[in-house]
């Protein structure tokens, strides 16, 4: 019996062509069966359909006992708008599921983790297939779903619970009803397409909310736009600065980011 995976789009849409390419790759993984919800292709302004449609599709996938996992098709922006309402509607079948995604979908992963519902997992998404080398990212998830743990982030030690977030997503989660308690956790963050001054600003905010974590690991900070003048410090210097300011242990780099090499981080304790 294969692992049955429902795919929906809580933020922005993909195309039927994207889905077909992922299905073609999945043919190499007979232990995994993917089912794309039609909502993945809906379009309403910025989003993959209006809030109500995205909410309904996610809740349908999560509550369906016929699926073992829910894989988010794509980030972009929008899962925060439906996350609280979604959590309130989840039933027992959702609690037995794995939920996979990253970037904007971190709002849902964070909220699920806070609520103790199922297993949230930072992982590449179907949309990553559009990246250079993206096939590798999608195969990493398909293999993981089939039981191959080699795609997991290498620092996971099974001693500290971990989470992984896009830095903007984590900053926006802080203090909201979706924010999980992260005391004792190793917190991994990555960022993309933000000026370094904005990265510094996000660290100012997020680090003020992370008291009691076991430590912070910095993923890749990629596609930094050129500003009108140099910031004067690199991403790791920025991370160290704010960790020091708030007494958070800085633990080094994490092998995550908005790229094909993005590794898998199951929230909580590895091996559980």
Contact 86, 28 (CB under 8 A): no
Rounded CA separation 81/121 (Å):
20
Q: List beta partners, residue 265.
A: 122
Q: Which is nearer to a second copy, 108 or 202 (CB)?
A: 202
Rounded CA separation 165/4 (Å):
25
Contact with a second copy (CB under 8 A): which of 69, 100, 145, 171? Answer: 171
Asked if 44 touches a second copy (CB under 8 A), the answer is yes
Q: What is the DSSP string of 224-246?
A: PPP-SS--SS-HHHHHHHHHHHT
Contact with a second copy (CB under 8 A): which of 177, 184, 247, 249? Answer: 177
> Taking the CA atoms of the chain, what radius of gyration do you get in angstroms?
18
Asked if 176 touches a second copy (CB under 8 A), the answer is yes
Q: Which is nearer to a second copy, 47 or 58 (CB)?
A: 47
Asked if 253 touches a second copy (CB under 8 A), the answer is no
Q: From edge to edge, which strands make up the β-sheet containing 186-192? A: 162-166, 186-192, 215-222, 250-253
Contact 122, 180 (CB under 8 A): no
Contact with a second copy (CB under 8 A): which of 39, 155, 168, 262? Answer: 168
Q: Which is nearer to a second copy, 67 or 72 (CB)?
A: 72
Q: Least separation, in Å, of the C-beta of 205 and a second copy? A: 4
Q: Least separation, in Å, of the C-beta of 89 and a second copy? A: 17
Distances in Å between the Cα of 268 and the Cα atoms of 9, 48, 109, 154, 157 are 24, 29, 11, 15, 11
Which residues does 50 contact at the CB level (< 8 Å), separation at least 6? 44
Q: How far from chain centre, in Å, is Cα 217?
A: 15
Q: Which is nearer to a second copy, 197 or 250 (CB)?
A: 197
Residue window 71-100: x/- pattern of binding to a second copy, with contact defined by CB under 8 A: -----xxx-xx-------------------
Q: Least separation, in Å, of the C-beta of 61 and a second copy? A: 23
Burial class (CB in 10 A: 0-12, 13-18, 19+), 208: middle
Residue window 196-235: x/- pattern of binding to a second copy, with contact defined by CB under 8 A: xxx-xxx-xx--xx-----------------x-xxxxx--
Contact with a second copy (CB under 8 A): which of 1, 30, 45, 226? Answer: 45
Q: Which is nearer to a second copy, 78 or 151 (CB)?
A: 78
Contact 5, 98 (CB under 8 A): no
Q: Least separation, in Å, of the C-beta of 21 and a second copy? A: 20
Contact with a second copy (CB under 8 A): which of 174, 214, 224, 260? Answer: 174
- For binding to a second copy (CB under 8 A), which residues are involved? 44-47, 76-78, 80-81, 168, 171-172, 174-177, 196-198, 200-202, 204-205, 208-209, 227, 229-233
């Amino acid at each position: 019996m294969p692992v049955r995976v429902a795919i929906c789009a809580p933020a922005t849409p993909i195309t039927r062509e994207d889905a077909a390419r992922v299905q073609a790759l999945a043919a190499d993984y007979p232990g995994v069966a993917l089912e794309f919800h039609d909502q993945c292709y809906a379009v309403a302004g910025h989003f993959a359909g209006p809030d109500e449609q995205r909410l309904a599709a996610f809740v349908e996938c999560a509550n369906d006992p016929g699926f073992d996992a829910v894989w988010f098709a794509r980030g972009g922006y929008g899962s925060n708008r439906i996350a609280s309402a979604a959590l309130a509607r989840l039933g027992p079948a959702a609690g037995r599921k794995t939920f996979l995604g990253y970037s904007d979908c971190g709002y849902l992963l964070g909220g699920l983790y806070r609520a103790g519902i199922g297993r949230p997992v930072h992982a590449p998404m179907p949309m990553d297939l559009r990246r250079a080398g993206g096939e590798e990212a999608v195969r990493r998830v398909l293999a993981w779903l089939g039981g191959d743990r080699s795609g997991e982030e290498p620092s996971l030690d099974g001693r500290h619970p971990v989470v992984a977030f896009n830095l903007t997503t984590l900053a926006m989660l802080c203090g909201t009803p979706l924010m999980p308690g992260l005391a004792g956790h190793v917190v991994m963050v990555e960022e993309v397409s933000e000026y370094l001054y904005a990265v510094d600003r996000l660290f100012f905010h997020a680090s003020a909310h992370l008291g009691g974590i076991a430590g912070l690991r910095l993923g890749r900070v990629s596609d930094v736009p050129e500003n009108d003048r140099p910031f004067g410090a690199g991403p790791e210097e920025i991370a160290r600065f704010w960790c020091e300011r708030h007494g958070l242990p800085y633990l080094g780099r994490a092998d995550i980011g908005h790229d094909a090499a993005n590794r898998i981080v199951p929230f909580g304790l590895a091996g559980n």
